[in-house]
Amino acid sequence: MRTLRMIGVGLAISLAAVGTARAGVIDHQTLKGKAADVEFLISTPETCADGSDGSSDLSVSLFGEESFLSSRTNGRTLINAVSAIVVASDSCTGAVSISTGQIEGGFDSLTPRKAVLNGTIPLTDISTGAPAGTLVAALTLQGGNITSMTNEHDKIVFPDNTFRTDQVKATTRPATVTGSLTVNGVQFIGHVSQALMFDNRDSVTDLGR
């Protein structure tokens, strides 16, 4: 399950940077957030030079999240971002190009079942670093019933005798998508391959003995 990917990494890094062990709670962090993932695919059949069947594919992955991170040692942080990955591939030639982009803001979770993704995202080719155009999103997601639930409890003991407890609660629901999404003028709204909405809660505590 793809969930609050950027925040999860930041949470792990910040906890790893906690100082030397001491008795009691070293740090306690909580993460509450919502996210949405929408995938698009336009596949155009073509005939390869050797006469075999092939296709030219253009896919878009759009991910939005809004998360509130609270830490006993680092205070409170609100993060809102939308990120995009665009992949163009040709099965006949084997050519692949990938461009990415991200903006702050642009994601608004109105209710557990409704969210919007709005923004203009400049794209950059990951191979050359050159500008690769623009993605413009104005999407509304309407969520269905919950299809997946997570409730996990973990405990990790470190060599310095500190230990960490981690409790994760998450839900996933499919969504319908309306609105508009264009990449360099090409409209993708009629080509949704997957749309999911997530609601996550994560509580991590570092303790010393």
Q: What does the CA dihedral 131, 118, 141, 186 come to, rounded to 10 degrees?
A: -40
* 117 touches 107 (CB < 8 A): yes
Q: What does the CA dihedral 106, 111, 114, 116 come to, rounded to 10 degrees?
A: -10
What phi and psi values does residue 121 have, to the nearest 5 degrees? -115, 115
| pTM of the predicted protein model | 0.79
**Mean pLDDT throughout 133-154?**
95
Average pLDDT of the residues of the chain:
88
Tokens of 2: 């793809």
Kindly tell me if the per-residue pLDDT of 6 is higher than 70: no
Pick from 106, 88, 105, 85: nearest CA to 97: 88
Q: Identify the pLDDT of residue 133.
A: 97
Instruction: Look at 68 and 7; give whichever has higher pLDDT.
Output: 68
pLDDT per residue as tens digits for the range 82-112: 999 999 999 999 999 999 999 999 999 988 8
Kindly tell me if the per-residue pLDDT of 13 is higher than 70: no
**Mean pLDDT throughout 141-158?**
92
